[in-house]
Chains A and B, each alone.
Chain A
Amino acid sequence: MSRPLLVVDDDTDLREALEEVLRDAGYTVMGAGNGQQALEVLRQAQTTPSLVLLDMMMPVMDGATFGRKMRAVDAWRDIPVLVFSASANARQVADEMGACGYLRKPVDVETLLKAVAANKAPEGA
Chain B
Amino acid sequence: MTPFRLLLVEDNANDAALVTAELEQAGYRPTTWRVETLEGLRGALAMDGWDLVLCDYRLPGFSALQVLAMLHELGRDVPLIVLSSQLSEEQAVTLMKAGARDCFSKDRLTRLGPAVARELEETRVRRERVRAEVDREILARASELLTASLEQEARLDQLVQLLVPRVADWSAFFLHDLERSGLKLVALAQPDSARRTLALTLHQRFPLEPQATGGPAYVLRTGTPELVPDVRERPEPIPADAAHPRGVEEMGLRSVVNVPLPGRDGALGVLSLGTLGERTLDRVDLALGQELARRTGLALENARLFQEAREAVRLRDEFLTVAAHELRTPLTTLRLQLGTLLQRSAAHHLDSEVVARLERSVRQVRRLGTLVEGLLDVSQLSSGELSLMPERFDLEELVAEVLERYQAEAASAGCELRQSPRRGLWGTWDRLRVDQAVGALISNAVKFGPGRPVEVDVGKVGGFARIQVRDRGIGLPADQVERIFERFGRAVSSHSYGGLGLGLYLTRRAAEAHGGRAWAEPGPEEGARFTLELPLEKETRE
Contact = CB atoms under 8 A, between A and B. Distances in A.
Given A13-B333, A88-B321, A106 B340 contact: no
A105 B321 contact: no
Contacts of B372: 106
Contact of A109 (B321, B326, B343, B369): B343
Contacts of A21: 336, 339-340
A60 interface: no
B91 interface: no
Contacts, number: 61
Given A17-B340, A88-B380, A107 B335 contact: yes
B246 interface: no
Contact of B328 (A106, A109, A112): A106
**Contact-residue bracket for chain A:** 10 to 19
Nearest to B334: A106
Interface string B159-175: 00000000000000000
A105 B336 contact: no
A86 interface: yes
Nearest to B336: A17
Given A88-B321, A88-B376, A88-B380, A105 B339 contact: no
B23 interface: no
A45 to B, nearest CB: 24
Nearest to B387: A91
Interface residues of B, number: 23
Given A24-B344, A86-B325, A87-B325, A109 B376 contact: no
Interface string B313-331: 0000000010001101111
A94 to B, nearest CB: 13
Interface in B364-387: 365-366, 369, 372, 376, 380
A5 to B, nearest CB: 14
A18 B336 CA distance: 7
Given A24-B344, A88-B376, A88-B380, A108 B325 contact: no
B344 A11 contact: no
A20 B344 CA distance: 11
A108 B339 contact: yes
Contacts of A24: 340, 343-344
A14 interface: yes
Summarize B's interface: helix, strand, loop or mixed. Answer: helix
Contacts of A112: 336
Given A87-B325, A88-B321, A88-B380, A105 B332 contact: yes
Interface string A1-20: 00000000001011001101
B335 A109 contact: yes
Nearest to A11: B329
A2 B329 CA distance: 29
A84 B312 CA distance: 32
B340 A109 contact: yes
B224 interface: no
A105 B331 CA distance: 8
Interface of A: 11, 13-14, 17-18, 20-21, 24, 86-88, 104-110, 112
29 contacts: A11-B329, A13-B333, A14-B330, A17-B333, A17-B336, A17-B337, A17-B340, A20-B336, A20-B337, A21-B339, A21-B340, A86-B328, A86-B332, A87-B325, A88-B321, A88-B325, A105-B328, A106-B335, A106-B372, A107-B332, A107-B335, A107-B336, A108-B335, A108-B339, A109-B335, A109-B336, A109-B339, A109-B340, A112-B336
Of all A-B residue pairs in the complex, the 4 with the closest CB atoms, nearest first, are: A109-B339, A86-B328, A106-B331, A105-B328
